[in-house]
Structure 1
Amino acid sequence: MSTTQASAATVEVTAKDCQHNGTVFCPNPKMALWSNHPRVFIDLSHNGQGQCPYCGTVYKLKAGEVVGGHH
């Protein structure tokens, strides 16, 4: 049996889901316990999306959402 990474999930988040500095953390609370890995913070403040280096989950802001106080 070969080990290949399944296609990464994409999670859309709102500005309210982000920390004050425009980051979200992975694994997120909705992920299954078996898929846990060390917690990392993903910065969405620069281009509105980021990817977890452990599991490949992509986090992106929903259309129209803004973080970091920039309008």
Structure 2
Amino acid sequence: MTIKEFIERDNEKLQQIINEYPKQVPCNVVAEYVGCSPENVRAAVDGGSLGFHWRKPGRLTGGNCIPTSKFVRWMLNMEV
């Protein structure tokens, strides 16, 4: 595979994610795309580098949100 083919294939995958998840991308989809576990993606979200994480008072677990626009910019190394 050439570099050009690799980039084209990667861009096609990214375009599919944008089309399927125009508002928010699930952690498991991001994990599959970048080749890591959903837990690692949640840790990145919890750290604030990839999305938003929240925890309600009295709850042990929290929620995550990976906005599609933030994810795409992060993947393309673009300024937000």
User: Could you tell me the TM-score, scaled by structure 2's length?
Assistant: 0.24
Query: Over alpha carbons, which structure has the higher Rg?
Result: 2
Higher relative contact order (CA 8 A, sep 6+): 1
